[in-house]
Amino acid sequence: MAEFVMPTLGADMTEGTLVQWKKRIGDPIAKGEIIAEVDTEKAAIEVECHTSGIVEQLLTKPGDKVPVGTVMAIIREAGQPATTSAQPRNIAPQPVTPSRNPPVAKTAPASSSGTRLRISPAARKLAAERGIDPTGLQGTGPEGTITLDDVTRAATVAAGVGTVTTAAERQARMRQTIAAAMARSKREIPHYYLSTTIDMSRALAWLTTENGRRPVTERLLVSVLFIKAVALALRQVPELNALWKDGETVKSERIHIGTAISLRQGGLVAPALHDADRAGLGELMQRFQDLVKRARAGSLRSSELSDPTITVTSLGEQGVETVFGVIYPPQVALVGFGKVVERPWVANGLIVPRPVVTASLSADHRVSDGHRGGLFLAELDRLLQEPQSL
Amino acid sequence: MTTASSDAETRAQILRLLGDIAPEADLACLNPDVGFRDQLDLDSMDFLNFVVSLHKTFHIEIPETDYPKYMTLNGCVAQVAASRT
């Protein structure tokens, strides 16, 4: 038997709310398939199952908030016999908040006093889609539960009015999550910072030619070159591609680049582009586009949030020339790129205008030293001079 | 053939495409002669997605070298109109 537990989907995630099960008891499930949708402080996340088998038990009810690590489901792995009633699993789900409201007045406005909102998963989903704040709704279902009908009615009456509240709430929660992770980073991680200016003339010329050949649907952005170059440079300085766990470095064999994506309503997420060193630029671009789209639509997968082994941030879009980032724990490094700008450059004894970019490295001094960090940036520079090999 | 009414239709379609990319933006306030990347806070991926949706909606080829012509609403309308002549 394998247990499916509430996963950690961020450095400071301590609990999550089950929005809905994507599988029913008795359903077969394959490793990597989505088993549940979980609501975290940042977004609703589709959570993948790490085992193949049959869904034997679902222990958490939609709407329940449980701590990270709580067993939420039991998966019977292929070849194992079904659990008989003689061997009952006695796993008590540990809801953080009571799964039932205290027996107050049946139509008490939900959640205004900190009690959990009673709302059906379908209603919750519709409310999120329509941007309606369900806390203001009067539930007509059992025990004042807000039903799909209630949300539909509200959506018809006040189309769009609730958007601001919901977005503002989500933003406030995301702000808190970012605050916790960044405060922990600055409290615990002794950062050191390095930067270098990289001549981008070869890379941009290559990109222009390459995009001239490509149909509009397959064109590349310079940020994909950066991501790929970082991934390849990490092979030379692998200690930057690691996690800090329980007082020691755990190097990662695989290179999953967390890409910082700003959300239009404010806040950011940094989901992973898995095995970025092994993907071609075209494939990486498609995956990057898909990732940005899903990040902004709020439909990321659990592995994308839990797997990054390093983060890349590009603030060049805002016109910033240099960014020194804050490492996202438990990662041990972050690479930043500023805007590509034209600057005087000395080549062969002549001053010429060249497009250049400032690349920076923020790294954990417990794990690596400035010398190795410098080698990493030098390797990054070298790789960007040979864009055709990326 | 380009008429005032088909230009208005094109404009409405382009605004819809922009709305898909920047759903929170108030497109009524968009200045049609000023680049919308800054007005709508579009990054390079947003702009690429916009160019792709223009390509799919109006069946026009947009080489990367022509991107500057598509930076404003009026510029886009003019390019679409020109592609029909």
Dihedral over Cα of A245, A249, A252, A253: its sign: negative
Residues A290 and A356 in one domain: yes
Segment A321-340, tens digit of pLDDT: 999 999 999 999 999 999 99
| Residue B66 and residue B29 in contact, taking contact as beta carbons nearer than 8 Å | no
A344 bridge partner residues:
A353
ipTM score of complex: 0.89
Residue A133 DSSP symbol: -
Pick from A188, A221, A243: which residue ends a domain?
A: A188
Length of chain A: 390
- The CATH number linked to B43 is 1.10.1200.10
CB of A112 within 8 Å of any CB in chain B? no
Contact A221 B45 (CB under 8 A): yes
Q: In sequence order, what are the residues at sequence separation of 6 or more whose Cβ sits closer than 8 angstroms to the Cβ of residue A358?
A: A195, A196, A197, A198, A321, A322, A337, A338
Dihedral over Cα of A65, A66, A67, A69: its sign: negative
Residues A168 and A198 in one domain: no
**Phi, psi dihedral angles at A137 (to 5 degrees):** -95, 150
Segment A27-43, tens digit of pLDDT: 889 888 889 988 877 67
Residues B64-77: what's their mean pLDDT? 94
Residues B7-29: what's their mean pLDDT? 90
Looking at residue A144, its pLDDT comes to 72
Dihedral over Cα of B1, B5, B8, B9: its sign: negative
Residues A293-322: what's their mean pLDDT? 90
- The encoded tokens of residue B24 equal 């929170």
Residues A331 and A194 in one domain: yes
Residues A150 and A199 in one domain: no
Contact B52 A216 (CB under 8 A): yes
The nearest CA of chain B is from the CA of A276 a distance in Å of 18
Looking at residue A51, its pLDDT comes to 84
- The CATH number linked to A213 is 3.30.559.10
| Residue B80 and residue B6 in contact, taking contact as beta carbons nearer than 8 Å | no
Residue of A nearest to B51 (CA): A216
Looking at residue A153, its pLDDT comes to 64
Query: Structural domain tally of chain B?
Result: 1
Residues A307 and A375 in one domain: yes
Domain of residue B77, residue span: 4-84
Q: What is the average pLDDT score of chain A?
A: 84
**Phi, psi dihedral angles at A221 (to 5 degrees):** -105, 155
Looking at residue A106, its pLDDT comes to 37
Least confident window among A231-240, A294-303, B50-59: A294-303
HSE-CB at A295 with a 13 A cutoff on CA atoms is 24
Q: What is the C-alpha to C-alpha distance for residues A47 and A10, in angstroms, rounded to an integer?
A: 13
Domain of residue A238, residue span: 190-389
CB of A216 within 8 Å of any CB in chain B? yes
pLDDT higher than 90, residue B29: no
Contact A265 B24 (CB under 8 A): yes
Burial of residue A34, with CB atoms counted within 10 A of its CB: 0-12 exposed, 13-18 middle, 19 or more buried: middle
A15 bridge partner residues:
A67
- Partners of residue B64 in chain A, C-beta under 8 Å: 208, 211-212, 219
Q: In terms of Cα–Cα distance, which of A75, A5, A13, A82 is closest to A47?
A: A5
Contact A216 B62 (CB under 8 A): yes
Looking at residue A8, its pLDDT comes to 81
A113: left (phi over 0), alpha (psi -120 to 50) or beta: alpha
Query: Structural domain tally of chain A?
Result: 3
CB of A375 within 8 Å of any CB in chain B? no
pLDDT higher than 70, residue A232: yes
Task: Report if residue A98 sits inside a domain.
Answer: no
Task: Report if residue A100 sits inside a domain.
Answer: no
Residues A195 and A332 in one domain: yes
Q: What percent of chain B has pLDDT over 70?
A: 94
Pick from A147, A165, A188: which residue ends a domain?
A: A188
Please report the number of interchain residue pairs, chain A to chain B, with beta-carbon separation below 8 angstroms.
35
Residues A373 and A348 in one domain: yes
- The CATH number linked to A144 is 4.10.320.10
Looking at residue A82, its pLDDT comes to 60
Q: Which of A204, A296, A317, A318 should we substitute to test contact with B (largest number of B Cβ atoms within 10 Å)? A: A317
HSE-CB at A270 with a 13 A cutoff on CA atoms is 28
pLDDT higher than 90, residue A194: yes
